[in-house]
A and B are shown apart, each in its own frame.
Chain A
């Protein structure tokens, strides 16, 4: 019975212990960027982590790739450290996605990759010896939408449908400095309509939280979905304040990355890293992975048996199959032999009949000859 003691036991210290353990262990975060080329994905990743994580495409080598029609999966790993806390970051890029005349099935390599990671984790989990393994399960997928100002394209809808059920999907309006504020608002509305009409499962985390401020902040973050993004790796001088800011310098002004009136970069960064990173990781492991596991194992016809029984059942079925095959082969051969014998029999019968007939004719000739002989002898005697 818990004693209402004057001095506490120290259970309340458990979160601190956990905190120490977690901060020593560090975290594993995998982020995937998906979208047509030229939408600023590489720049965004570099801006988000304020370091040159990915090199830009080399334009000199483009002639080999322009008409190649393949989608690749590129994995970049990095270790990021802030105030003693380590994050093993993995960024997955998909060059070639949606870039060609015929983009049919261009999402298949991506979907296969996502499933493969879950599969790898699952098979690793079931091994007898489980040591530290590379876990490449994707925690969040950022889908970059072209800033057309109209609405989602058929390719966007199809891909987001496929991905939304497998990974935490966050749609992003790329190169948002192409859209005026009025156009941007209309575009966002249309995208939201599309998403709800086609039942696309985008990431929507718990908004309610313990304190008011968090709830309000979460709500403001989620009302801004899809997030408009401007990325830049260079610092320029802002004409209004004179300070150095991250932004894009145009002849007519400076579009600032961290200015909330210009784009939603800050909101998205808060979501990805400051507030919801843990939720992204947890929901991938708990929600998406469990879904995958359920589907996969349900498909194999298993309910809740242990491996030995499953193996035995596997062997049994195999044995049955082989038995069937043998039996079939056997009957086949028997039938063939029977046929052969029958044919042989028929040939013999035919032969016998022929011989009989020959015999008959011979008999007849003999008889006629005998009659002739008789006649001759009779005539001679006369």
Chain B
């Protein structure tokens, strides 16, 4: 596309603006929240530890064998990690969901997680409606949801389909193939293809790197297309390091070979990390705020408008403001 509309001056001004924003971000730091969902044993905690390069979640303590037969509820655990990425300070909140999909009957699991996500939206909604708003209010909304798919080699299971369907409207779902070192390249490609077919067939809303043909430049479009073609991302996690050719690498050591976590031929971990924490972090946040949150807000307020009278809505708001004020010092 010939840059007729952009003059040289225009380009220079845009570049200056970009650097100013970047400098501001470096000073302020960014906040980002990721939720990790999947059945137990798919390597979620290991993935998080690999992502943050530090043991955020300890090795799973399985407890006594008697407890193995007990049905558990989903225990939503947010943990915040301070990291530095590309020189920018990042305050990453990781929300783990142990217990998801582990029981014989898992029908209640969706509601627990949905309730958590909607609660964060409710907090923001309440904060926005206040007369005096706190500029430093911590945005706890879930910006990205990594859904771990078991590497069966077939296609999606009912649990995957039902969960992603219900939560796709509230969070940016990024499907991930867990423990992808159980499949060789041909099997992995076929599996990815079938998963994407299922997602299209059941009309499951996921974050598929949207771009605007008009607004974005070719580079962005190409990058997004590339990432879209990699969906779902195959990941391998490891906290163990091995020295290979003089370099320390994170690997999984098998009797028949070594799987390197950061090698993009072995798995998509490094691309996923870069996408999540650098290139698409802002996009994910924007979509959460401009689209998903707005949708939730519209639905919630129109529902309240139907149930109550106008006066009662105002009364509710006043009451909520009274409630929030005493909570403020604790935050």
Contact surface of B with A, Cβ cutoff 8 Å: 39-42, 60, 62, 64-66, 68-71, 102-107, 150-159, 161-162, 179, 181-182, 184-185, 194, 198, 201, 252-260, 265-266
Any chain B CB within 8 A of the CB of A197? yes
Specify which chain A residues have a CB less than 8 angstroms from the CB of B161 in the assembled complex: 66-67
Contact for B157 among A66, A152, A178, CB less than 8 A: A66
CA separation between A59 and B155, bound complex, in Å?
8
Q: A2-10, A96-104, A164-172, A364-372: which lies at the B interface?
A: A96-104
Could you list 18 A-B pairs, sorted by A, with CB under 8 Å?
A37-B154, A38-B154, A57-B154, A66-B156, A100-B158, A101-B105, A101-B107, A101-B159, A104-B104, A146-B41, A147-B41, A147-B182, A178-B182, A180-B253, A197-B66, A250-B259, A252-B259, A261-B255
Listed from nearest, the 8 A-B pairs whose CB atoms lie closest are A148-B41, A38-B152, A253-B257, A252-B257, A253-B256, A197-B65, A178-B182, A194-B65
A59 to chain B: closest CB distance in Å? 6
CA separation between A211 and B58, bound complex, in Å?
48
Contact B105 A251 (CB under 8 A): no
Any chain B CB within 8 A of the CB of A122? no
Closest to A254 in B: B256
Any chain B CB within 8 A of the CB of A264? no
Specify which chain B residues have a CB less than 8 angstroms from the CB of A251 in the assembled complex: 184-185, 265-266
CB under 8 Å from chain B, chain A span 260-319? 261-262
CA separation between A190 and B63, bound complex, in Å?
10
Contact A150 B266 (CB under 8 A): no
Any chain B CB within 8 A of the CB of A109? no
Specify which chain B residues have a CB less than 8 angstroms from the CB of A93 in the assembled complex: none
CA separation between A175 and B258, bound complex, in Å?
17
Contact for A154 among B102, B201, B257, CB less than 8 A: B102
B36 to chain A: closest CB distance in Å? 16
Specify which chain A residues have a CB less than 8 angstroms from the CB of B156 in the assembled complex: 66
Q: Find the residue from B151, B158, B159, B201 having the highest chain A CB count within 10 A.
A: B158
Interface residues in A, total, Cβ within 8 A: 52
Specify which chain B residues have a CB less than 8 angstroms from the CB of A253 in the assembled complex: 254, 256-258
Contact B69 A250 (CB under 8 A): no
CA separation between A150 and B44, bound complex, in Å?
12
Known A-B contacts A37-B152, A251-B184, A261-B255; A190 and B158 likewise in contact (beta carbons under 8 Å): no
Contact B105 A102 (CB under 8 A): yes
Contact B65 A175 (CB under 8 A): no
A334 to chain B: closest CB distance in Å? 55
Closest to A262 in B: B255
Specify which chain B residues have a CB less than 8 angstroms from the CB of A175 in the assembled complex: 182
CA separation between A193 and B65, bound complex, in Å?
6
Specify which chain A residues have a CB less than 8 angstroms from the CB of B254 in the assembled complex: 177, 180-181, 252-253, 255
CA separation between A315 and B259, bound complex, in Å?
73
Contact for B70 among A38, A62, A154, CB less than 8 A: A154
Any chain B CB within 8 A of the CB of A151? yes
CB under 8 Å from chain B, chain A span 128-179? 146-155, 157-158, 175, 177-178
Contact A158 B41 (CB under 8 A): no
Specify which chain B residues have a CB less than 8 angstroms from the CB of A248 in the assembled complex: 184
Known A-B contacts A66-B155, A66-B158, A250-B184; A255 and B103 likewise in contact (beta carbons under 8 Å): no
Closest to A63 in B: B201
Closest to B259 in A: A252
Contact for A250 among B40, B64, B181, CB less than 8 A: B181
CA separation between A96 and B69, bound complex, in Å?
22
Interface flags, A82-103, vs B, CB<8A=1, else 0: 0000000000000000011111
Contact A150 B181 (CB under 8 A): no
Closest to A107 in B: B104
Closest to B182 in A: A178
B114 to chain A: closest CB distance in Å? 14
B63 to chain A: closest CB distance in Å? 8
CA separation between A153 and B70, bound complex, in Å?
9
Specify which chain B residues have a CB less than 8 angstroms from the CB of A196 in the assembled complex: 65
A44 to chain B: closest CB distance in Å? 13
Interface flags, A192-204, vs B, CB<8A=1, else 0: 0110111000000
Contact for B159 among A57, A100, A249, A254, CB less than 8 A: A100
Contact B71 A190 (CB under 8 A): no
Closest to B186 in A: A249
Specify which chain B residues have a CB less than 8 angstroms from the CB of A261 in the assembled complex: 255
CA separation between A152 and B102, bound complex, in Å?
10
Contact B65 A154 (CB under 8 A): no
Closest to A69 in B: B158
B70 to chain A: closest CB distance in Å? 7
Contact B154 A198 (CB under 8 A): no
Specify which chain A residues have a CB less than 8 angstroms from the CB of B182 in the assembled complex: 147, 175, 177-178
Any chain B CB within 8 A of the CB of A221? no
Known A-B contacts A102-B107, A146-B41; A252 and B66 likewise in contact (beta carbons under 8 Å): no
Contact B104 A103 (CB under 8 A): yes
Specify which chain B residues have a CB less than 8 angstroms from the CB of A67 in the assembled complex: 158, 161
Specify which chain B residues have a CB less than 8 angstroms from the CB of A262 in the assembled complex: 255-256
Contact A101 B158 (CB under 8 A): yes
A45 to chain B: closest CB distance in Å? 16
Specify which chain B residues have a CB less than 8 angstroms from the CB of A33 in the assembled complex: none
B66 to chain A: closest CB distance in Å? 6
A99 to chain B: closest CB distance in Å? 6
Any chain B CB within 8 A of the CB of A53? no
Any chain B CB within 8 A of the CB of A39? yes
Interface flags, A224-261, vs B, CB<8A=1, else 0: 00000000000000000000000011111111100101
CA separation between A63 and B39, bound complex, in Å?
22
Closest to A238 in B: B256
